[in-house]
Structure 1
């Protein structure tokens, strides 16, 4: 936790210095004080990174190191609190157009001088001993080293040994296993296809035995072994830790806690954040990434993905669902691991910065309002939101499930807010632009909002005045016409679920960097040309969803032109003729294609017609070159004429609600990478056809799975 706070402080210091000219003047003395703090913090971060110099004994080093870490954590917390309170209070003064006196500025930094004395004392201690702590490496797995999980087989096969030992039960809550089964489970998780040297094999046996037959303990310790260096010294140290845990406490908790003890410092706050979610809560991966970024744990989603992969390799979160592109969609934390996480959060004073699921914000404000950075509510009431004015340092505020009709106006004074999610039947006020540090804005519908909101609710024009906005998700608001008073949202990567977006050239140039775009149109209210041909201007776009409700748009005006950068395309309700598929088939990077609710209409889809050559056998085929996932859902398709060469990369085919489609070409089964075909269980003729294709492939010693939906 000390590492996390120091890392956060290193981000806050340049922020206060870079923004002082705009929001608050800082005296030369104040700047010198902050510069001095910055230098000392850099030294402390180097110490926490694991700087190794000569010292006395290892045991003394560990003891001194833990004491210093606690002092560093407390001092860094105080320093950051002081500076962020200063920024908040003086911004309020500026906004109220009051006069800011230099004496006020100097006075506010006197408390920081006191903290700096403590930090100087700690720094002197660090420079004196520079202990060789036995800590943990901070090198993380790269994105290319993601956990190897076969996404298409999840839920199909009997992610093991434990389930065989005790069928029909949760393998992580089953009765105790004997030593043979314990070792088998450990082997499966750590080295399933490798024979170890005798000395390494002996260590693995010792580890399995000392887990006491507890499957969850075995899985978590396996995660430690899997990510550790595969040497006798490294594994031997882990085996000693497991043995020590058994000797100190024969209960389960000590052995579970080892997974945290061996966790790299950079991963600890990410894990504690996940552990704060309620019991049995399905955590959306995309959400947790945004929260980590808002808190400053990671710089972007690529780094967040690497961190998550590292945690998954350690079996600390459990992946519960996958996206169509094979990436993780949701996860959860086992109850016992969650309890361990909560305990560690208390030990490391982490609850002063984060509150997830607290039922009473008013009570929370009495204890932690001056220090909390994250408040995520699941069942708050209207009155509790009034206490938000006290949470001056918030970076994350999620009150999607609030019963309120509107957010308190004081929310828009939360200068440090980076992530705001709410669900209210109201128009977003123009004051939203006061949140100049906001990166993520999510407006989700609640039962009340669905009842009272209309299709014509607009986001304020001031939304164009938020230069750091990165993710905008609005389920019932329209994006306003910029009216020439806007600047480009250069940082915007996600613009999702907006309604009736008119894709003028001017609009596209204002969101030119967006990577994910989702738009809803209403066919029965068609009044104008939505200029979808200009989508091609979005040269960074990777994911596009175009959804039509209540009838078809006029195809002549509404026909989109897609940028070649698209990797995922979802179309719903458009009723395009199948011959229009040619433009989609030619997209060179398209990996996922979802066709829902009569996206295309007509009884025959012949991909040969998309080759552009009468001699199909000799034509050079450039169709769906990278497509791995194809979904056709709710379609009147009767005949699908195609060849394996038209889908060379296809891995997963889903046919749902295609009641008129009785068969697919046998050639589909010959696609070398195809792993899974999913078919609606009520379409018996199509099921029969698919099973015949599967049977034929079995004869070629290929594994092609079929799943009934």
Structure 2
């Protein structure tokens, strides 16, 4: 993993050379500058000759990792020696440099620099050889066309499986009133889940069932997780839900009662054992109302076990015609395939042996290379050799796709293997982790976050990562990887000493850079000293991890949300090089961060989540020391309902890198505080009424946050309808997304919100309007794409289509006093979807009437969805 190692080393060296924060290197600046120059050269080589054969990548990886280990060991020892000497020690005036451990590391710097110089000399020879080869190719052949990258389709069309989809839909919506189990089985990657998802999301299916729920079971399933998932899905259809239910018996009873008497569709995806069915079958009542259970599995005996009287729906591999049609659609979309590529394309499709996932992955690869015969023939030759061994054909096809990944995407892709099977990965978290790992190079035109989003989109285009959910603005909210793709990430990650996901750890992890550990692994951690490890993912609750951290002193990332702390653990303060820290704290009483938290001078993300069985009526007190203003690298503070940040003191410095601050209670937006967070992009606030007047919160100063793009303000229910939220409403013009909850809004407030030139998403949850009226004006909401209104007193909505010129989606739920949607809404040319709650029959009829009028006018694109 040469690229990741070099990018990380380059950033570490730049931090030292530019900011001169560590006096220990004052005599070695020339050496560090040489090391940095050679690191940048090797990076450029990998980027310029990505995919070209060379045998030095392993040496580059080892040398870059060793160089960074030496440098960070020196930094670590230096910081701790300063601590022991009261912070006054330096490399020139103390015996510090004569300490054995420090001196041992320091003496390694010239040697590792010599190793890197030797690698550079070898790379220069390789580069010259490759350039000569390219010159020969240019002289002997015509120039190739530029690569064409097609945008991914919005959903997975069932190309080649239309008959399967029709059969499943017929069984789902058939006349039989008896509870039926519909098993779908077939080999991995053949399209079982895609078929089930298309049937599940079909509009006819959505209207046919009162309740729908999707549960991914997997091999390592948990009955409680299944119950939680079912309860979470069912919650959408019930006004009241007791989140304190947590025992197996109580949860089972709640699921059963919630389903009783309702026509439901439950999907049990990726089931691996008959025991899994035995564990859940009693949850599903049979009321002879046409309810259905659809399950997918690779095992025919599991498929037959659930209901021996129900015919199995077996998925078969595609034939040649179906394979080529799927490949052609994925690569060319609506375009025609160039005639000179058709025969090669058919050969590639045939080599995938009818496995849809393999075809999709190869299509993602073909979409990123030149549309020339030479390029496609090269892929065809490699695919053919990769599938000769039937047992390993798909693994080899995936390996081929990995080999063709650009160097900068490889670490981001392999990182996916660190998450559990079938894990829904939140993109906001994934991006923070990539940045903390040092996978991204600084850019003048783009932030790290923007660059990371592009990397993820690129992996999606290659069909290596799948989208789970999108945000209201169209960006990816969460993603996942197929379990076979995850297997590839784990295998390659371990081969390249990049990632270890073994359930049982051994001394071999000393050579690994990242660990994803389970409970069974933790028994061995305390016996292992592995300073090379930079990342630990912990997906199991086990307090033993704290005592084991002493052996992982150079950690950058500690993702331990499953760990619950009653107070801030002092062991964490030893990890002075941390960039990402996530944990859970016990909510009872007070949770204070110590002043020594300022030791985290490299910390970029701090994520703290309260552990609670029930969120309502729980007062959480989390207090930060004033030293929080002395952590210059902070980019994201994600803290659920913490007390307001302390006022900065004279020694405080602005947190210029801070982009996220959420969620803060009773946040006072004084001018001083606004000056301390000048580049904030996302802000979440909760107000619970500690102050007497809204003016005490100085919300009008939000206008000074010139980079703010997302703002979420929630008012506790006891303050609702008291007074308007702002006396003099003023919001920053860069704002793209605004969410207000339980606020009282005046017509003037709504007019000011409408004047925001960049606002794309507006969510109003349980907000009240003065006089129950909202009247819009010309030139308001010029870029608004998504409008959501939930639980409001709104009775009169007066508007024109020109007032929402770019509206794409309108959602109204709990608007019980609103009798109709203005007909002019249907005339908005960009409108694609209206969603309304089934409980408001007037709005349902109004939405249907708007759709009918648009259809009569020739507009077939407008859809109406009735929310159950």
Given the two structures, how large is their TM-score scaled by the length of structure 2? 0.73
Alignment of 1:460-479 (within 5 A): 460-478=625-643, 479=645
Deviations 1:138-176 (A, max 9, x none): xxxxxx9894554xxx6xxx8531552533532388431
Matching residue of 2:488: 340
1:503 is aligned, of 649, 669, 681, to: 669
Residues of 1 paired with 2:686 and 2:578: CA distance? 29
Shift of 1:555: 2.7
**Structure 1 pair 319–698 and aligned structure 2 pair: CA distance change class (3 A):** same
Residue 476 to residue 623, structure 1, CA distance change in 2 (3 Å): closer
Q: Distance in 2 between matches of 1:501 and 1:486?
A: 18
8 Å contact kept, 1:375–1:396:
yes
For these two proteins, the number of residue pairs brought into alignment is 671
**1:524, distance to aligned residue in structure 2 (A):** 7.5
Q: Does residue 274 of structure 1 match 2:297?
A: no
How much does 1:453 deviate? 7.5
Please report how far the alpha carbon of residue 192 of structure 1 lies from its aligned counterpart in structure 2 after TM superposition: 2.1
Instruction: Specify the alignment match of 2:235 in structure 1.
Output: none
**Which secondary structure state, in structure 2, belongs to the residue aligned with residue 431 of structure 1?**
helix
Partner of 1:480: 646
Do structure 1's residue 177 and structure 2's residue 318 form an aligned pair? Answer: yes
1:308 is matched with 456
Q: Call closer, same or farther: CA 1:92–1:73 in 2, change over 3 Å.
A: same
Secondary structure of 2:577 counterpart? coil
Partner of 2:571: 410
Query: Matches of residues 31-50 of structure 1 in structure 2 within 5 Å?
Result: 31-50=29-48
Q: Deviations over 1:27-71 (max 9, x none)?
A: 62x44443443344344334323459xxxxx9xx83xx13x2112
Cα pair 1:385 1:407 within 8 Å, conserved:
no
Deviation by residue 1:572-611 (Cα, 9 ceiling, x = unmatched):
001223453111111111111100012535433222xxx3
Q: Counterpart in 1 of 2:792?
A: 635
Question: Paired residue for 2:96?
Answer: 101
Structure 2 vs 1, CA of residues 449 and 199 (structure 1 numbering), >3 Å: closer, same or farther? same
- Equivalent residue, structure 2, for 1:569: 738
- Counterparts of 1:84-483 in structure 2, within 5 Å, are 84-97=72-85, 99-104=94-99, 106-130=103-127, 131-132=129-130, 147-150=151-154, 160-164=158-162, 166-167=164-165, 168=168, 169-171=192-194, 174-249=315-390, 251-298=393-440, 299=442, 300-351=448-499, 352-359=512-519, 360-361=521-522, 363-364=524-525, 366=527, 369-425=530-586, 426-447=591-612, 454-478=619-643, 479-483=645-649
1:653 and 2:810 equivalent? yes
Contact 2:594 2:625 in 1 (8 A): yes
**SS in structure 2 opposite 1:497?**
strand
Secondary structure (helix, strand or coil) at the match of 1:170 reads helix
Kept after mapping to 1: 8 A contact 2:662/2:685? yes
**Residue number in structure 2 paired with 1:590:** 759
- Please give the alpha-carbon distance, in whole angstroms, between the structure 2 residues aligned to 1:453 and 1:438: 29
Conservation of the 8 A alpha-carbon contact between 1:270 and 1:292:
yes
Are the counterparts in 2 of residues 632 and 658 from structure 1 also a CA contact under 8 Å?
Answer: yes
**Structure 2 residue 25 is the aligned partner of structure 1 residue 26:** yes
1:686 aligns with 2:843: yes
* Structure 1 residues 605 and 288: CA distance shift in structure 2, 3 A: same
Q: 1:10 to 1:317 in 2, by over 3 A?
A: same
Choose 557-566 or 534-543, whichever is displaced more: 557-566
2:569, 2:545 → 1: CA distance? 10
Per the alignment, residue 6 of structure 2 pairs with: 6
Conserved in 1, the CA contact under 8 Å of 2:150 and 2:331? Answer: no
Residues 521-530 or 369-378, more deviating? 521-530
SS at match of 1:397: strand
* Mapping of residues 580-619 of structure 1, within 5 Å: 580-600=749-769, 602-607=771-776, 611=777
CA contact (8 A) 1:571 1:599 kept: no
Q: Rate the CA distance shift 1:415–1:628 in 2: closer, same or farther, 3 A.
A: same
Kindly state the Cα deviation for residue 556 of structure 1 after the two structures are TM-superposed: 5.7
8 Å contact kept, 1:284–1:329: yes
Structure 1 distance, partners of 2:625, 2:522, is 28
Answer whether contact 1:623 1:647 (CA < 8 A) is retained.
yes
Aligned partners of 1:111 and 1:598: how far apart in 2? Answer: 64
Indicate the larger mover: 405-414 or 202-211: 405-414
State the SS of the aligned residue for 2:400.
helix
Structure 1 position 292, deviation (Å): 0.8
CA–CA separation in structure 1 for the residues paired with 2:540 and 2:514: 17
CA distance in 2: counterparts of 1:585 and 1:119, whole angstroms: 58
Q: CA deviation at 1:629?
A: 0.6
- Give the drift of 1:688: 1.7
Q: Gapped runs of 5+ residues in structure 1?
A: 53-57, 136-143, 612-620
Conserved 8 A contact 2:768-2:793: no
Q: In structure 2, what is the Cα distance between the partners aligned to 1:599 and 1:322? A: 28
**Change in 2 beyond 3 A, CA 1:119/1:259:** same
Which structure 2 segments of 5+ residues have no match? 135-147, 169-191, 196-297, 299-314, 443-447, 500-511
Residues 15 and 423 of structure 1: CA distance in aligned 2, closer, same or farther (over 3 Å) = same
Shift of 1:206: 1.0
Q: Deviations over 1:447-492 (max 9, x none)?
A: 3896998444321111111122111111132211225552221111
User: 1:73 maps to what in 2?
Assistant: 61
For the residue of structure 2 that corresponds to 1:442, the secondary structure is strand
Distance 1:527 1:192, change over 3 A: closer
Name the SS for the 1:445 alignment partner: strand
Q: Is the contact between residue 652 and residue 677 of structure 1 (CA under 8 Å) also seen in structure 2?
A: yes
Contact 2:762 2:786 in 1 (8 A): yes
Alignment deviations for residues 386-438 of structure 1 (CA, whole Å, 9 cap, x no partner): 21232121111121221332343131232221111121132222111110111
> 1:511 Cα deviation (Å)?
1.5
Structure 1 contact 531–557 (Cα < 8 Å) conserved: no
